[in-house]
Structure 1
Amino acid sequence: MSLHTSFHIGGPADALVIPADMEDVRKVLRIAREEKTPLTVVGNGSNLLVRDKGIRGIVLKLGNALKHWEQNDGRFVFGSGVSLAQCCRIIGDAGYTGMEFAVGIPGSLGGAVYMNAGAYDGEMKDAVVSVQVMTRSGEVKTLSRDDLKFAYRHSALQDSDVIVLEAELMVKPGDKAAIQAKMDDFSQRRISKQPLDVPSAGSTFKRPEGRFVGQMVEESGLKGFRIGGAEVSVKHAGFIVNVDHATASDVLQLIEYIQKKILENYNVQLIPEVLVLGEV
């Protein structure tokens, strides 16, 4: 799975399937049911840490599939495999505003909805109207924004086993030049502040209320601290990066060490934002 995550970390999956369309998704679900095989669904692996022993059963990867999209005025429907960056560009190029915040967030639309991804002045909940999902029995359903129960880096999708097929976004008309300028500004901020040149899974921890993770980690003297090949980024202490063939064990030990130090120094319990999957 190291070839399928932005961390470049992870043991093997027993089987990896990239579906061409919704019918392929339904077929994989049927096979998993009939063979009583575990099924794990991932996007494009940008917010994911796979353990060193890998994942048993079938991994269904949607990040390179389900890339359809359509527009009707300010209503956009995107397949869950469309990259978030592409969604932003398509919406901005059409002269609509509301998704600029997501221009530099890695990952697929489906994963972004699942996590209620956000940055700067926005979150996915601000634009999502509904989501089409498939149950493990192969039934297609539509969930409204209210059904999704969005919260900070959370949606009801995390508490269910449905598979996101597509999402409907509603945005407002705007000035193309202003939209592009805003996206350029956000992109430049990311480039200047985040370690985009080394493998990572994005921000390692959720932001505690009233605190900044990077600041606490840096003030605790952990910037550049390493366990094995995993390092607290010297560019932004809110990121753990893979600097030298890190294992999942390296990353998990580093996460635990950071949590311990921040709890000691600030009485704050850091909660990982990175999703951890795989055999223990």
Structure 2
Amino acid sequence: MNQYLHLVPEIKEIVEEKNVFIDEPMRKHTYFKIGGPADILVLPETIEQVIGLLKLCISKKVPHHIIGNGSNLLVKDGGIRGVVIKLCSLNQIEVEEDKITAMCGVLLSDVSKSALQNSLTGFEFACGIPGTIGGAVTMNAGAYGGEMVDVIETALVLDEQCNLKILTNEELELGYRTSAVMKYNYIVLKVTLKLKQGEYEEINGRIKELTAKREEKQPLEYPSAGSTFKRPVGFFAGKLIQDSGLKGKSLGGAAVSEKHSGFIINKNNASAKDILDLINLVQNTVKEKFGVELHTEIRIIGDDIAG
């Protein structure tokens, strides 16, 4: 029984009806292709709509979750109570000299393309990361020796009281897969990157090189949320998992990738429970064999199935 249906008319006063979905299967909105229904899923198209939706949820004491394109997300099988606000429709991008300003829902691949088109270098590392720029700032995403901290100038964020703030790179407190955004529950709305003028052919060559590397080493043929675990200090998660004899290990429809042991994949219609049980098995086995604790990099939200 969806206890939040009474909220729908007020939501439709804020966003267009076509952007409101009831009992929406979250498997349609995650790269894992897993997840029970969200009571209400909303796709705002402007910052004003985001603020309006948040104020409504706060005033009515309705639980709410902010998501991007679901590339780093596991939603549990029981789904999500309350309102899910998906920010992918905030996807405008502007380039001025050596700066790119992107709304939170812009895909990193699209930022990378804009940088290439304008012969701007410094963002090649992110060309294959499947998330949005909002999510990338939130977790200081990185790959191939680069991180968001290297290129961010400022970010426009919304705090828990729905106040807008512009934070500098330093104020964002960007560390390994962490930031002030995570620490203080901010919502990233817009990001300005500072890049450098470069040579188009060199930038394009680097993007092609990194794309080939990613395709060779990552299990892109299966649904997943990218690297499942953070890199433990002094180790590589994938190597620890492989050395624990878990490469290819499966539970239900979930499996440790044969191609890269740091990825847990949805191999055969896995449930969220399958993924979580396999994560637990991997963590326990690695701890037992090597004394190293693996922490998940993916975000896990929602409810288990009751009973």
Q: Same fold per TM (> 0.5)?
A: yes
Q: Is the Cα contact below 8 Å between 1:116 and 1:155 reproduced in 2? A: yes
Higher relative CO (Cα under 8 Å, sequence separation at least 6) belongs to: 1
Q: Deviations over 1:87-106 (max 9, x none)?
A: 01101210110000000000
Q: Deviations over 1:106-152 (max 9, x none)?
A: 01000011010000120000001111012343322111111111111
SS in 2 for 1:237: coil
Aligned to 1:186, which of 201, 204, 210? Answer: 210
Aligned to 2:109, which of 65, 85, 94? Answer: 85
The answer on 1:143 being equivalent to 2:192 is no
- Measured on the aligned residues, the alpha-carbon RMSD in Å equals 1.0
In structure 2, the partner of 1:98 is: 122
Q: Is the Cα contact below 8 Å between 1:78 and 1:87 reproduced in 2? A: yes
Aligned pairs, number:
279
Q: 1:44-83 maps to which residues of 2 (within 5 A)?
A: 44-62=69-87, 64-83=88-107
The answer on 1:256 being equivalent to 2:301 is no
Distance in 2 between residues matched to 1:212 and 1:98, nearest whole Å: 25
| TM-fit CA distance, 1:160 | 1.8
Q: Is the Cα contact below 8 Å between 2:159 and 2:184 reproduced in 1? A: no
Percent identical among aligned pairs is: 44
In structure 2, the partner of 1:279 is: 303
SS in 2 for 1:164: strand
SS in 2 for 1:179: helix
Query: Which runs of 5 or more residues in structure 2 are unaligned?
Result: 1-25
In structure 1, the partner of 2:240 is: 216
The answer on 1:35 being equivalent to 2:41 is no
SS in 2 for 1:221: coil
| TM-fit CA distance, 1:242 | 0.2
SS in 2 for 1:148: coil
In structure 2, the partner of 1:17 is: 42
Worse overlay, 209-218 or 233-242: 209-218
The answer on 1:269 being equivalent to 2:293 is yes
Letter of the structure 2 residue corresponding to residue 95 of structure 1: S
**TM-score of the superposed pair, with normalisation by structure 1:** 0.97
Q: Deviations over 1:186-216 (max 9, x none)?
A: 0000001100011000000011122121112
Q: Is the Cα contact below 8 Å between 2:124 and 2:207 reproduced in 1? A: yes
In structure 1, the partner of 2:263 is: 239
Q: Is the Cα contact below 8 Å between 1:51 and 1:278 reproduced in 2? A: yes
Distance in 1 between residues matched to 2:273 and 2:133, nearest whole Å: 28
Query: Which consecutive segments of 4 or more residues in structure 1 shift more than 4 A?
Result: none
Distance in 2 between residues matched to 1:44 and 1:113, nearest whole Å: 14
Distance in 2 between residues matched to 1:264 and 1:34, nearest whole Å: 47
Query: Which runs of 5 or more residues in structure 1 are unaligned?
Result: none
